[in-house]
Structure 1
Amino acid sequence: MIQIRSAAWWRATLALSLGSLLVFINLYAPQPLLPDLREAHGVSTMVVGLVMSVATLSLAAALLVFGPLSDAIGRAGIMRFTLLAAGVLSLALALAPSFEILLVLRLLQGFVLGGLPAVAIAWMGDEFEPEAMLAAVGLYIGANTLGGISGRVVGGGMGELGGSAAAFLTVGMITLVGVAVFWKLLPPARGFTPRRFEMRAALADLRGHLGNPLLLSAYLLGGLNFLIFINQYSYITFRMAAAPFNLGSTLLGLIFLTYLGGTLGSSLSGRLVRHLSQPACMMMGIVIFMAGTLVTLADSLVLVLLGLTLNAFGFFVAHSMASSWVGRHAGQARGSASALYLVFYYTGASLGVFWLEPFWNLYDWRGVVLASWLVLGVTLTITGFLWRRRPDGKVGL
């Protein structure tokens, strides 16, 4: 098993973090372009939001395929080839002749982008010692935030310079170069034990995970938190593009630098858990998320950015803890257990627009804040359940 901060640990963590960064560059590059795409194609905020939703929904579906499949054939090949396909599809998006074709390509891209997230944490569970895994997950999820930032900054900046085609072309080229580095860095797996893939066994594993209250609670927590977090960013672009802010695509992309709060939160999560239990860390993250959401009600751009930064910090502390909780408490079939967490996570992202849109139409951003608090109140309650429940199923602190 790979020990924390050994040479092999650094190499593997760097490879997986790079892969994570590439996934999220591709997934989120279109987000700062949504106001312009809405105007260019004459569609509503809900319809243009499908550019993000179809990708996250197909990514969620892919996790149900790649997670169990990786338990049978291994993790590394899935990560390498799906990243390569994602880069090729970004180049194809640059040539999309219509909004409908764009959505189809995003659907396909979302599916292949599910390959690495479905198996990366399971790969760590196979290869790393427990302490090494906790530290690596924090850095890996920190790379999620950097990828989200990079995709939006590149998408917004290149979109303003040369339109969406230039944005997708740039992202595609970055991805292909990154895949070559990832391919070389990822060390060979030594702790993986293949299981013969059987549909009946795979379904039994999924039922077992869903029947475990310690896992199901983490699944719900991750999905509901992400439902709010990622879709807040979509609606904040509409708010910031309108008066009194009137920001263009480049500046809208820079709003996502507030994701650096998430990079800090996920990176610190490994240290926080040395002093607090994982459920206590999740609870703290959600409370910070709720506070940041209130701060975004301000009419000051500085305060809005501060609120978004707090949101990112709190969300990624909770997410890091919930995802590693699943990896530690899945008794078997870690690939499908981790994949199922991400199914809930990305399904939440894809459904968020349907939850937030009515509140946005009624009360604008104040409605989004209200809808956010309603859901975050539920996830805060879930963390209370986990805090009182020990892994052996007994009640206690």
Structure 2
Amino acid sequence: MRAALARWALVVAGFFLFGNLYAPQPLLPALERGWGAAAGAAGPGMSAPMLGILLGSLLWPRLGLRSGASLALGAAGVGLFGLLGAFAGGPWVWAGWRLAQGLALAAVPGTAFSLLPRLFGSRAALATGWVVAANTLGGALGRAAAGWLAAVYGPGAALAWLSLPLLTLALALWPLPGRPARREVAVRLEAWPLFLLGAALLFSNLFVANLLPYRLEAAGVGLAGIGAVYLAYAGGTAGALLVGPAVGRWGERGAGLLALGLAAAGAVLLGRWPFAGFALMLAGIFALHALGGAAAGRWGAGVSGAYVSAYYLGGALAGAAYPAFTGRPFAIAVLLVLALYAVTALLLPRALAPARSRGR
């Protein structure tokens, strides 16, 4: 019974982890008012966890901890530092706790995916799909719940409530067996278009997601309504699920151009219909991410790891860039995203090309 609980705790871990990580997005203007800070002051706190994930992904494998211990410590760290950050007195203190959250969260994804074949056997591929879906759904519902809770209890209390389940989850993860594999892998610099693609995808995702609450609040939308707009992340799940049929019909590059078209169309619609535009944009982004991840996998573990690192680096850059746009017309941000998609269109043929000889 305890082993079964731990196994399913692994599947749902991403739901609570990514829900907590992204929960502050709809609350950014409200958090800044509570600190008495200027619009955009929360930017470092939105970059910090992405940098933490990058640094932590280098640190955790070197510790040689048992898988259950890594997962439990990671989940507990995200919960504890999220709880402390909820009551931070200013943006830079909050950014410090958010950096610590990213460092803790980095313990989970790689360890979790390496455990799935051992825990689920022939159903490992199915379990992988469950984990990815839980990550995406958790991010959507975490943002929405933050808005709803903040409307009743205030932003700090909302973030605190969303941190508490992780402390219980850590206890359920502790019994998991095994140790992650430790191996050195080479990064192929020829795959640079793929790395730029990954960075562009999370940058455009979080750049818009960070700016939306300012746009919506200016339009008179309350905290609960702002949080509900982030349910558009369900569009990301739909986009990823459509990749297989699209590749079968149009090929990988054709599917990539279709996904890019969806993302660009969504960006155009953002100004007038934020929910529909954001959902369409995310459908394209997550479809491209699925294609990029598959292409990285063909290159091998080194390129795959570098692709994930570039993806999160793009998210960190989004947190650094969006404060400069908080006081400007939202159309300028949309034009920046569309320009980025134009560059992405030029990268696609090389980014999704079959892996070249790897010296095998």
TM value normalised by structure 1: 0.78
Superimposed CA distance per residue, residues 285-310 of structure 1 (whole angstroms, 9 cap, x where no aligned partner): 22211110011132xxxx22111110
Q: Does 1:261 align with 2:235?
A: yes
Distance 1:118 1:51, change over 3 A: same
Pick the aligned partner of 2:350 from 365, 368, 385.
385
Instruction: State yes or no: 1:69 paired with 2:62.
Output: yes
Matches within 5 A, 1:150-189: 150-183=141-174, 188=177
Match of 1:347 among 298, 302, 313: 313
**Aligned counterpart, 1:232:** 208
Partner secondary structure for residue 45 of structure 1:
coil
Deviation at 1:139, TM superposition (A): 3.9
Distance in 2 separating the partners of 1:276 and 1:126: 35
- CA, structure 1 residues 345+28, in 2 after alignment: closer, same or farther (shift >3 Å)? same
Equivalent residue letter for 2:285? F
* Equivalent residues of 1:35, 1:237 under 8 A apart: yes
Superposed CA offset, 1:46-83 (max 9, x none) = 322222122222222222333x538x667554333211
Alignment partner for residue 100 of structure 1, among 87, 92, 95? Answer: 92
Q: Relative to 1, partners in 2 of residues 1:281 and 1:63: Cα closer, same or farther, differing over 3 Å?
A: farther
Amino acid in structure 2 at the alignment position of 1:91: L
Q: Counterpart amino acid of 1:230?
A: L
User: 2:105 matched to 1:113?
Assistant: yes
Q: Alignment partner of 2:41: what SS?
A: helix
Deviation at 1:233, TM superposition (A): 1.2
Residue identity in the other structure for 2:348: T
CA contact (8 A) 1:154 1:253 kept: yes
Distance 1:273 1:194, change over 3 A: same
Residue type of the alignment partner of 1:254 = A
8 A contact 2:30–2:155 mirrored in 1: no
Q: CA deviation at 1:171?
A: 1.1
How far has the Cα of 1:126 moved from its partner? 8.6
- Cα separation, 1, equivalents of 2:188 and 2:169: 35
Separation in 1 of the partners of 2:349 and 2:68? 36
With over 3 angstroms needed to count, the CA separation of the structure-2 counterparts of 1:138 and 1:324, relative to structure 1, is: farther
AA aligned opposite 1:321: L
Q: Mapping of 1:291-306 within 5 angstroms? A: 291-298=265-272, 303-306=273-276
- Once the two structures are superposed, residues 348-372 of structure 1 have per-residue CA deviations (whole angstroms, 9 ceiling, x without a partner) of 112124444545545x111011100
For residue 371 of structure 1, give the secondary structure of its aligned residue in structure 2. Answer: helix
Q: Residue 147 in 1 paired to residue 121 in 2?
A: no
Is 1:209–2:203 an aligned residue pair?
no
- Cα deviation for residue 24 of structure 1 reads 0.7
Q: Which residue of 1 aligns with 2:52?
A: 58
Q: Using a 3 Å threshold, how does the CA distance of structure 1 residues 181 and 347 change in structure 2: closer, same or farther? A: same
Letter in 2 for 1:90: G
Give the drift of 1:341: 2.3
Contact 2:88/2:94, CA 8 A, preserved across alignment: yes
Determine if contact 2:24/2:146 at 8 Å carries over to the other structure. yes
CA drift of 1:339 comes to: 3.7
1:128-165 Cα distance to aligned partner (Å, 9 max, x none): 999964x6554433222211112212211222211233
Shift of 1:30: 1.1
* Aligned mates of 1:359, 1:75 — CA distance in 2: 42
1:147-195 Cα shifts (integer Å, max 9, x gaps): 11122122112222112332122112222233444556x6x559x6554
Of 280, 294, 297, the match for 1:327: 297
User: Partner residue of 1:252?
Assistant: 226
* Aligned length, in residue pairs: 354
Residues 233 and 374 of structure 1: CA distance in aligned 2, closer, same or farther (over 3 Å):
same
Deviation at 1:313, TM superposition (A): 1.0
The residue type paired with residue 62 of structure 1 is G
> Alignment partner of 2:187: what SS?
helix
1:44 CA displacement: 2.7
Distance across 1 between alignment mates of 2:178 and 2:57: 20
Query: What is the identity, as a one-letter code, of the residue corresponding to 2:282?
Result: A
**Which residue matches 2:287?**
317
Kept in 2: contact 1:63–1:115 (CA 8 A): yes
Map Cα deviations across residues 249-305 of structure 1 (whole Å, 9 max, x no partner). 11111110111111222234355445554444333222211110011132xxxx221
Structure 1 77/372 Cα, relative in aligned 2: closer, same or farther at 3 Å? same
User: Structure 1 stretch 315-324 or stretch 23-32: which is displaced more?
Assistant: 315-324
Overall identity of the aligned pairs, in %: 25
C-alpha RMSD of matched pairs (Å): 3.2
The TM-score normalised by the length of structure 2 is 0.85
Q: Which one-letter code corresponds to 1:209 in the other structure? A: V
Q: Show the counterpart of 2:337.
A: 372
Q: For residues 158 and 19 of structure 2, what CA distance do their matches in structure 1 show?
A: 11
Please say which of residues 80-89 and 268-277 is displaced more in the overlay. Answer: 268-277
Alignment-derived partner of residue 259 in structure 2: 285
SS in 1 for 2:154: helix
**Separation (CA, whole Å) in 1 of partners of 2:225 and 2:251:** 39
Deviations 1:111-135 (A, max 9, x none): 11122234444555898999964x6
* Partner in structure 1 of residue 3 of structure 2: none
Quote the offset at 1:104 in angstroms: 1.6
| Cα distance in 2, alignment partners of residues 164 and 257 from structure 1 | 18
Residue of 30, 36, 40 corresponding to 1:36 = 30
Q: Which residue of 2 aligns with 1:4?
A: none
Label 1:124 to 1:269 Cα distance change in 2 as closer, same or farther (>3 A): farther
State the AA in 2 paired with 1:156.
G
User: Unaligned stretches of 5+ in structure 1?
Assistant: 1-10, 196-201
- Cα distance 1:283–1:132, how it changes in 2: closer, same or farther (>3 A)? farther
